[in-house]
Structure 1
Amino acid sequence: MNNNPDHHSPERVLITGGSHGIGAAIAARCRQDGHTPVILDREGADAIHCDLSDPDSTAAALERALADGPITRLVNNVGAVFPNTVSDQSLAQLDAAVALNLRSALQCIQALLPGMREAGFGRIVSMSSRAALGKELRAAYAATKAGLIGLTRVVALEEGAHGITANAIGPGPIATELFTRANPADAPQTRAIIESVPVQRMGTPEDVAHAASYLLDARSGFVTGQTLYVCGGMTVGVAGA
Protein backbone atom coordinates (compact mmCIF):
# COMPACT_ATOMS: atom_id res chain seq x y z
CA MET A 1 0.00 0.00 0.00
CA ASN A 2 1.24 3.48 -0.91
CA ASN A 3 -0.02 6.03 1.59
CA ASN A 4 2.92 8.34 0.87
CA PRO A 5 1.81 11.96 1.45
CA ASP A 6 4.38 13.07 -1.13
CA HIS A 7 2.32 11.39 -3.87
CA HIS A 8 2.43 14.49 -6.12
CA SER A 9 3.04 13.05 -9.57
CA PRO A 10 0.69 14.49 -12.22
CA GLU A 11 -2.34 12.29 -12.55
CA ARG A 12 -5.64 12.20 -14.35
CA VAL A 13 -8.80 13.24 -12.52
CA LEU A 14 -12.18 11.94 -13.71
CA ILE A 15 -14.87 14.64 -13.47
CA THR A 16 -18.51 13.99 -14.36
CA GLY A 17 -20.40 16.98 -15.74
CA GLY A 18 -17.14 18.88 -16.06
CA SER A 19 -17.92 21.06 -19.08
CA HIS A 20 -19.90 23.83 -17.35
CA GLY A 21 -20.35 25.62 -14.04
CA ILE A 22 -18.81 24.07 -10.95
CA GLY A 23 -17.49 21.09 -12.91
CA ALA A 24 -15.61 23.33 -15.35
CA ALA A 25 -14.12 25.30 -12.44
CA ILE A 26 -12.95 22.05 -10.84
CA ALA A 27 -11.41 20.96 -14.14
CA ALA A 28 -9.58 24.29 -14.43
CA ARG A 29 -8.31 23.99 -10.85
CA CYS A 30 -7.10 20.44 -11.51
CA ARG A 31 -5.04 21.77 -14.41
CA GLN A 32 -3.58 24.45 -12.12
CA ASP A 33 -2.71 21.71 -9.63
CA GLY A 34 -0.80 19.85 -12.32
CA HIS A 35 -3.38 17.16 -13.06
CA THR A 36 -5.16 16.26 -16.29
CA PRO A 37 -8.97 16.37 -16.10
CA VAL A 38 -10.85 13.60 -17.87
CA ILE A 39 -14.38 14.92 -18.36
CA LEU A 40 -17.52 12.85 -18.88
CA ASP A 41 -20.34 15.04 -20.17
CA ARG A 42 -22.97 15.35 -22.87
CA GLU A 43 -21.02 18.15 -24.54
CA GLY A 44 -17.72 19.98 -24.42
CA ALA A 45 -14.80 19.96 -26.83
CA ASP A 46 -12.53 18.05 -24.45
CA ALA A 47 -15.15 15.71 -22.97
CA ILE A 48 -15.83 12.05 -23.49
CA HIS A 49 -19.43 12.45 -24.61
CA CYS A 50 -22.00 10.30 -22.84
CA ASP A 51 -25.38 10.34 -21.15
CA LEU A 52 -24.59 9.89 -17.47
CA SER A 53 -28.23 9.12 -16.71
CA ASP A 54 -27.89 5.97 -18.83
CA PRO A 55 -25.90 3.06 -17.34
CA ASP A 56 -24.76 1.68 -20.70
CA SER A 57 -23.60 5.06 -22.01
CA THR A 58 -21.80 5.70 -18.73
CA ALA A 59 -20.13 2.28 -18.82
CA ALA A 60 -18.87 2.85 -22.37
CA ALA A 61 -17.45 6.27 -21.41
CA LEU A 62 -15.74 4.82 -18.34
CA GLU A 63 -14.19 2.10 -20.47
CA ARG A 64 -12.79 4.76 -22.80
CA ALA A 65 -11.48 6.82 -19.88
CA LEU A 66 -9.75 3.83 -18.31
CA ALA A 67 -8.26 2.57 -21.58
CA ASP A 68 -5.17 4.68 -20.85
CA GLY A 69 -4.73 3.17 -17.40
CA PRO A 70 -6.12 3.55 -13.88
CA ILE A 71 -7.49 6.87 -12.60
CA THR A 72 -7.04 7.43 -8.86
CA ARG A 73 -8.95 10.70 -8.43
CA LEU A 74 -12.70 11.07 -9.02
CA VAL A 75 -15.13 13.99 -8.76
CA ASN A 76 -18.80 12.97 -8.97
CA ASN A 77 -20.10 16.39 -9.98
CA VAL A 78 -22.94 15.83 -12.42
CA GLY A 79 -26.45 16.56 -11.20
CA ALA A 80 -29.84 18.04 -12.01
CA VAL A 81 -32.50 19.57 -9.77
CA PHE A 82 -35.97 18.42 -10.98
CA PRO A 83 -37.71 21.08 -8.81
CA ASN A 84 -41.09 20.16 -7.40
CA THR A 85 -43.02 19.82 -4.16
CA VAL A 86 -43.28 16.49 -2.40
CA SER A 87 -46.94 16.34 -3.41
CA ASP A 88 -46.21 16.87 -7.10
CA GLN A 89 -42.82 15.22 -7.55
CA SER A 90 -43.45 12.50 -10.12
CA LEU A 91 -41.95 9.06 -9.79
CA ALA A 92 -40.40 9.55 -13.22
CA GLN A 93 -38.63 12.66 -11.91
CA LEU A 94 -37.41 10.73 -8.87
CA ASP A 95 -36.11 7.93 -11.09
CA ALA A 96 -34.33 10.50 -13.30
CA ALA A 97 -32.77 12.18 -10.26
CA VAL A 98 -31.55 8.87 -8.86
CA ALA A 99 -30.10 7.81 -12.22
CA LEU A 100 -28.14 10.99 -12.82
CA ASN A 101 -27.31 12.27 -9.32
CA LEU A 102 -26.70 9.02 -7.47
CA ARG A 103 -26.43 5.94 -9.71
CA SER A 104 -23.79 7.52 -11.94
CA ALA A 105 -21.67 8.25 -8.85
CA LEU A 106 -21.80 4.65 -7.66
CA GLN A 107 -21.02 3.41 -11.17
CA CYS A 108 -17.97 5.66 -11.46
CA ILE A 109 -16.72 4.68 -8.01
CA GLN A 110 -17.07 0.98 -8.84
CA ALA A 111 -15.19 1.41 -12.12
CA LEU A 112 -12.25 3.27 -10.55
CA LEU A 113 -11.90 1.36 -7.28
CA PRO A 114 -9.81 -1.55 -8.64
CA GLY A 115 -7.13 0.84 -9.92
CA MET A 116 -7.19 2.81 -6.68
CA ARG A 117 -6.77 -0.34 -4.62
CA GLU A 118 -3.91 -1.49 -6.82
CA ALA A 119 -2.20 1.89 -6.36
CA GLY A 120 -2.91 1.98 -2.62
CA PHE A 121 -4.20 5.51 -3.18
CA GLY A 122 -7.47 7.14 -4.12
CA ARG A 123 -9.42 10.35 -3.72
CA ILE A 124 -13.20 10.44 -4.25
CA VAL A 125 -15.14 13.70 -3.99
CA SER A 126 -18.91 13.76 -4.54
CA MET A 127 -20.93 16.93 -5.01
CA SER A 128 -23.81 16.95 -2.56
CA SER A 129 -25.73 20.13 -1.67
CA ARG A 130 -26.98 22.11 1.29
CA ALA A 131 -30.37 20.89 0.02
CA ALA A 132 -29.48 17.51 1.56
CA LEU A 133 -30.34 19.17 4.89
CA GLY A 134 -33.79 20.12 3.57
CA LYS A 135 -34.98 22.72 1.08
CA GLU A 136 -38.41 23.47 -0.34
CA LEU A 137 -39.20 22.27 -3.87
CA ARG A 138 -36.26 19.87 -3.84
CA ALA A 139 -37.81 16.51 -2.93
CA ALA A 140 -36.00 14.31 -5.47
CA TYR A 141 -32.87 16.47 -5.52
CA ALA A 142 -32.47 16.59 -1.74
CA ALA A 143 -33.07 12.84 -1.45
CA THR A 144 -30.37 12.00 -3.99
CA LYS A 145 -27.89 14.54 -2.64
CA ALA A 146 -28.40 13.13 0.87
CA GLY A 147 -27.89 9.70 -0.67
CA LEU A 148 -24.47 10.82 -1.93
CA ILE A 149 -23.51 11.69 1.65
CA GLY A 150 -24.52 8.22 2.83
CA LEU A 151 -22.64 6.59 -0.03
CA THR A 152 -19.57 8.69 0.77
CA ARG A 153 -19.53 7.53 4.37
CA VAL A 154 -19.83 3.86 3.41
CA VAL A 155 -17.00 4.13 0.85
CA ALA A 156 -14.84 5.86 3.48
CA LEU A 157 -15.35 2.98 5.91
CA GLU A 158 -14.87 0.20 3.38
CA GLU A 159 -11.91 1.59 1.44
CA GLY A 160 -9.86 3.50 4.01
CA ALA A 161 -7.44 0.61 4.54
CA HIS A 162 -6.52 0.85 0.84
CA GLY A 163 -5.41 4.48 1.12
CA ILE A 164 -8.65 5.67 -0.45
CA THR A 165 -10.59 8.61 0.96
CA ALA A 166 -14.16 9.61 0.13
CA ASN A 167 -15.66 12.99 0.97
CA ALA A 168 -18.60 15.14 -0.10
CA ILE A 169 -18.98 18.86 -0.73
CA GLY A 170 -22.27 20.64 -0.03
CA PRO A 171 -22.36 23.91 -1.97
CA GLY A 172 -24.68 26.69 -0.92
CA PRO A 173 -25.89 29.34 -3.40
CA ILE A 174 -23.30 29.47 -6.18
CA ALA A 175 -23.35 32.10 -8.92
CA THR A 176 -23.08 29.78 -11.90
CA GLU A 177 -24.16 30.91 -15.36
CA LEU A 178 -27.41 29.00 -14.86
CA PHE A 179 -28.09 30.77 -11.56
CA THR A 180 -27.29 34.26 -12.82
CA ARG A 181 -29.57 33.82 -15.83
CA ALA A 182 -32.46 32.93 -13.51
CA ASN A 183 -31.50 35.48 -10.84
CA PRO A 184 -30.28 38.80 -12.33
CA ALA A 185 -27.90 40.75 -10.08
CA ASP A 186 -30.36 43.61 -9.52
CA ALA A 187 -33.42 41.42 -8.92
CA PRO A 188 -35.10 41.54 -5.47
CA GLN A 189 -34.93 37.76 -5.08
CA THR A 190 -31.19 37.82 -5.75
CA ARG A 191 -30.67 40.51 -3.11
CA ALA A 192 -32.74 38.45 -0.66
CA ILE A 193 -30.55 35.40 -1.27
CA ILE A 194 -27.35 37.39 -0.71
CA GLU A 195 -28.73 38.93 2.48
CA SER A 196 -29.48 35.43 3.81
CA VAL A 197 -25.82 34.40 3.46
CA PRO A 198 -23.72 35.25 6.54
CA VAL A 199 -20.70 36.30 4.43
CA GLN A 200 -23.04 38.56 2.40
CA ARG A 201 -22.13 37.34 -1.05
CA MET A 202 -22.86 34.54 -3.47
CA GLY A 203 -20.42 31.71 -3.75
CA THR A 204 -18.43 31.19 -6.94
CA PRO A 205 -17.62 27.99 -8.80
CA GLU A 206 -13.99 28.67 -7.86
CA ASP A 207 -14.94 28.56 -4.15
CA VAL A 208 -16.19 25.00 -4.64
CA ALA A 209 -13.21 24.08 -6.83
CA HIS A 210 -10.84 25.19 -4.05
CA ALA A 211 -12.57 22.84 -1.60
CA ALA A 212 -12.39 20.01 -4.13
CA SER A 213 -8.67 20.67 -4.66
CA TYR A 214 -8.05 20.27 -0.93
CA LEU A 215 -9.96 16.99 -0.72
CA LEU A 216 -8.28 15.62 -3.87
CA ASP A 217 -4.80 16.43 -2.56
CA ALA A 218 -2.53 13.55 -1.57
CA ARG A 219 -1.86 15.33 1.72
CA SER A 220 -5.55 15.08 2.74
CA GLY A 221 -5.33 11.40 3.56
CA PHE A 222 -6.58 11.77 7.15
CA VAL A 223 -9.85 13.41 6.08
CA THR A 224 -12.48 10.92 4.97
CA GLY A 225 -16.21 10.33 5.27
CA GLN A 226 -16.83 14.05 5.73
CA THR A 227 -19.18 16.59 4.15
CA LEU A 228 -17.71 20.06 3.69
CA TYR A 229 -20.40 22.72 3.28
CA VAL A 230 -19.17 25.52 1.04
CA CYS A 231 -22.13 27.74 1.79
CA GLY A 232 -20.96 31.07 3.20
CA GLY A 233 -22.27 29.99 6.60
CA MET A 234 -25.87 29.30 5.51
CA THR A 235 -25.93 25.83 7.07
CA VAL A 236 -24.65 26.92 10.48
CA GLY A 237 -27.28 25.90 13.02
CA VAL A 238 -28.82 23.57 10.45
CA ALA A 239 -26.18 20.91 9.81
CA GLY A 240 -26.27 19.67 13.39
CA ALA A 241 -30.06 19.70 13.71
Structure 2
Amino acid sequence: MSATCGQQALGDVDLDAPDAILRLNLHPAIRAVQAALPRMRANGQLTVGIAERTAFMRPQRGLVSFARTWALELAQTGITVNAVAPGPTEPNCEGEYQYLTGVPMHRLGRPDEIAAAIQFLLSEDAGFITGQTLFVYCGASIGKALL
Protein backbone atom coordinates (compact mmCIF):
# COMPACT_ATOMS: atom_id res chain seq x y z
CA MET A 1 0.00 0.00 0.00
CA SER A 2 1.26 3.44 -0.90
CA ALA A 3 1.42 5.80 2.07
CA THR A 4 0.32 8.72 -0.09
CA CYS A 5 -2.51 7.50 -2.30
CA GLY A 6 -3.23 3.78 -1.82
CA GLN A 7 -6.86 2.81 -1.43
CA GLN A 8 -8.36 -0.04 0.54
CA ALA A 9 -12.07 -0.76 0.83
CA LEU A 10 -13.25 -0.86 4.43
CA GLY A 11 -13.65 -4.64 4.34
CA ASP A 12 -10.12 -5.05 3.00
CA VAL A 13 -8.22 -2.71 5.30
CA ASP A 14 -5.05 -4.37 6.54
CA LEU A 15 -5.13 -3.73 10.29
CA ASP A 16 -1.38 -3.09 10.30
CA ALA A 17 -1.85 -0.27 7.77
CA PRO A 18 -3.61 2.20 10.11
CA ASP A 19 -0.85 1.85 12.71
CA ALA A 20 1.81 2.47 10.08
CA ILE A 21 -0.15 5.44 8.76
CA LEU A 22 -0.53 6.84 12.28
CA ARG A 23 3.22 6.63 12.75
CA LEU A 24 3.74 8.24 9.34
CA ASN A 25 1.22 11.08 9.77
CA LEU A 26 0.56 11.78 13.45
CA HIS A 27 3.88 11.13 15.17
CA PRO A 28 5.86 13.51 12.92
CA ALA A 29 3.21 16.21 13.42
CA ILE A 30 3.63 16.00 17.19
CA ARG A 31 7.42 15.99 16.93
CA ALA A 32 7.44 18.87 14.45
CA VAL A 33 5.24 21.01 16.67
CA GLN A 34 7.32 20.21 19.74
CA ALA A 35 10.52 21.11 17.87
CA ALA A 36 9.06 24.26 16.33
CA LEU A 37 7.14 25.54 19.34
CA PRO A 38 9.84 27.98 20.51
CA ARG A 39 9.97 29.59 17.04
CA MET A 40 6.20 29.35 16.64
CA ARG A 41 5.77 31.50 19.73
CA ALA A 42 7.79 34.19 17.97
CA ASN A 43 6.20 33.77 14.49
CA GLY A 44 2.66 32.76 15.43
CA GLN A 45 1.71 30.06 12.92
CA LEU A 46 1.73 26.36 11.99
CA THR A 47 0.22 24.38 9.12
CA VAL A 48 -0.11 20.59 9.10
CA GLY A 49 -0.92 18.59 5.94
CA ILE A 50 -3.19 15.54 5.84
CA ALA A 51 -4.70 13.10 3.36
CA GLU A 52 -8.13 11.40 3.16
CA ARG A 53 -8.65 7.72 2.38
CA THR A 54 -10.42 4.88 4.21
CA ALA A 55 -7.17 3.77 5.85
CA PHE A 56 -6.23 7.42 6.44
CA MET A 57 -9.42 8.46 8.23
CA ARG A 58 -7.99 7.84 11.69
CA PRO A 59 -4.87 9.94 11.14
CA GLN A 60 -6.88 12.54 9.22
CA ARG A 61 -9.29 12.95 12.11
CA GLY A 62 -6.28 12.96 14.42
CA LEU A 63 -4.64 15.81 12.50
CA VAL A 64 -7.91 17.75 12.29
CA SER A 65 -8.30 17.25 16.03
CA PHE A 66 -4.69 18.33 16.62
CA ALA A 67 -5.27 21.54 14.63
CA ARG A 68 -8.39 22.39 16.64
CA THR A 69 -6.88 21.45 20.01
CA TRP A 70 -3.57 23.19 19.37
CA ALA A 71 -5.41 26.27 18.05
CA LEU A 72 -7.27 26.51 21.36
CA GLU A 73 -4.17 25.85 23.40
CA LEU A 74 -1.99 28.36 21.55
CA ALA A 75 -4.58 31.08 20.80
CA GLN A 76 -3.50 33.27 23.71
CA THR A 77 0.05 33.32 22.36
CA GLY A 78 -1.06 34.60 18.94
CA ILE A 79 -0.13 31.34 17.22
CA THR A 80 -2.59 30.14 14.59
CA VAL A 81 -2.82 26.41 13.81
CA ASN A 82 -4.50 25.06 10.68
CA ALA A 83 -4.40 21.82 8.70
CA VAL A 84 -4.23 21.24 4.96
CA ALA A 85 -5.92 18.10 3.59
CA PRO A 86 -4.24 17.52 0.21
CA GLY A 87 -5.66 15.25 -2.44
CA PRO A 88 -3.67 13.04 -4.80
CA THR A 89 -1.30 14.94 -7.04
CA GLU A 90 0.22 14.46 -10.48
CA PRO A 91 1.91 12.80 -12.19
CA ASN A 92 0.14 9.52 -11.35
CA CYS A 93 -1.56 7.96 -8.39
CA GLU A 94 -2.60 4.35 -7.79
CA GLY A 95 -6.35 4.14 -8.45
CA GLU A 96 -6.29 7.47 -10.34
CA TYR A 97 -9.23 6.71 -12.67
CA GLN A 98 -11.47 5.55 -9.83
CA TYR A 99 -10.56 8.65 -7.81
CA LEU A 100 -11.22 11.06 -10.68
CA THR A 101 -14.76 9.75 -11.25
CA GLY A 102 -15.71 11.29 -7.91
CA VAL A 103 -13.89 14.59 -8.36
CA PRO A 104 -15.96 17.49 -9.73
CA MET A 105 -12.92 19.02 -11.47
CA HIS A 106 -11.92 15.62 -12.97
CA ARG A 107 -8.19 16.10 -12.44
CA LEU A 108 -5.41 15.49 -9.96
CA GLY A 109 -3.82 18.37 -8.14
CA ARG A 110 -0.33 19.70 -8.67
CA PRO A 111 2.19 19.87 -5.83
CA ASP A 112 2.49 23.63 -6.36
CA GLU A 113 -1.26 24.01 -5.73
CA ILE A 114 -0.93 22.25 -2.38
CA ALA A 115 2.12 24.38 -1.59
CA ALA A 116 0.19 27.57 -2.44
CA ALA A 117 -2.54 26.68 0.09
CA ILE A 118 0.10 26.06 2.75
CA GLN A 119 1.90 29.27 1.84
CA PHE A 120 -1.33 31.23 2.25
CA LEU A 121 -2.00 29.74 5.68
CA LEU A 122 1.54 30.63 6.71
CA SER A 123 1.14 34.23 5.51
CA GLU A 124 0.07 37.23 7.56
CA ASP A 125 -3.07 37.40 5.38
CA ALA A 126 -4.29 34.25 7.17
CA GLY A 127 -3.67 35.67 10.63
CA PHE A 128 -7.39 35.57 11.54
CA ILE A 129 -7.77 31.88 10.59
CA THR A 130 -7.12 29.21 13.22
CA GLY A 131 -8.33 25.70 14.03
CA GLN A 132 -9.45 25.08 10.46
CA THR A 133 -8.83 22.38 7.87
CA LEU A 134 -8.46 23.46 4.26
CA PHE A 135 -9.42 20.65 1.85
CA VAL A 136 -7.29 21.06 -1.29
CA TYR A 137 -8.43 18.37 -3.69
CA CYS A 138 -10.40 19.58 -6.67
CA GLY A 139 -13.79 19.55 -4.99
CA ALA A 140 -13.68 15.91 -3.84
CA SER A 141 -14.71 17.00 -0.32
CA ILE A 142 -18.08 18.23 -1.62
CA GLY A 143 -19.14 14.90 -3.12
CA LYS A 144 -19.34 12.90 -6.31
CA ALA A 145 -19.23 14.62 -9.66
CA LEU A 146 -22.37 14.47 -11.81
CA LEU A 147 -21.91 11.86 -14.52
Is the Cα contact below 8 Å between 2:40 and 2:46 reproduced in 1?
Answer: no
The TM-score with structure 1 as length reference comes to 0.52
**Cα distance per residue 1:26-65 (max 9 Å; x no partner):** xxxxxxxxxxxxxxxxxxxxxxxxxxxxxxxxxxxxxxxx
Cα 1:123–1:176, aligned 2, differ >3 Å: closer, same or farther?
Answer: farther
Partner of residue 31 from structure 2, selected from 93, 102, 107? 107
Q: What is the rounded CA distance, in whole Å, between the counterparts of 1:199 and 1:83 in structure 2?
A: 20
Richer in helix (by share):
2
SS of the counterpart of 1:196? Answer: coil
Count of residue correspondences: 142
State the one-letter code of the partner of 1:146: R
Look up the match of 1:215.
121
1:125-164 residue pairs with structure 2 within 5 A?
125-129=47-51, 131=52, 135=53, 138-139=54-55, 141-164=56-79
Show structure 1 runs of 4+ deviating over 4 A: 85-88
User: Which whole-Å CA distance do the structure 1 matches of 2:135 and 2:67 have between them?
Assistant: 14
2-side partners of 1:236 and 1:101: how far apart? Answer: 24
Confirm or deny: 8 A CA contact 1:101 1:144 kept in the other structure: yes
Q: Paired residue for 1:199?
A: 105
Q: From the superposition, tell whether residues 80 and 194 of structure 1 become closer, same or farther in structure 2 (CA, over 3 Å).
A: closer
> Once the 2 structures are TM-superposed, how far is the Cα of residue 176 of structure 1 from its aligned partner?
4.1
**1:125 shift after superposition:** 1.0
Q: CA RMSD in A?
A: 2.6
Q: Are 1:175 and 2:90 matched, yes or no?
A: yes
Paired AA for residue 151 in structure 1: F
| Distance in 2 (alpha carbons) for counterparts of 1:217 and 1:83 | 33
Structure of greater relative contact order (alpha carbons < 8 Å, 6+ residues apart): 2
Structure 2 unmatched runs, 5+: none
* 1:109 match: secondary structure: helix
CA deviation vs aligned residue, 1:154-199 (integer Å, no higher than 9, x gap): 011111221211111112332245x2xx46xxxxx63x54453222
Q: Which moved more, 1:141-150 or 1:82-91?
A: 82-91
**What CA distance in whole angstroms lies between the structure 2 residues aligned with 1:213 and 1:231?**
16
**Per-residue deviation, 1:88:** 4.7
Q: Which amino acid aligns with 2:127?
A: G
Determine if contact 1:176/1:205 at 8 Å carries over to the other structure.
no
Q: TM-score under structure 2 normalisation?
A: 0.80
- Residue 234 of structure 1 pairs with residue 140 of structure 2: yes
In the other structure, the counterpart of 1:80 is: 3
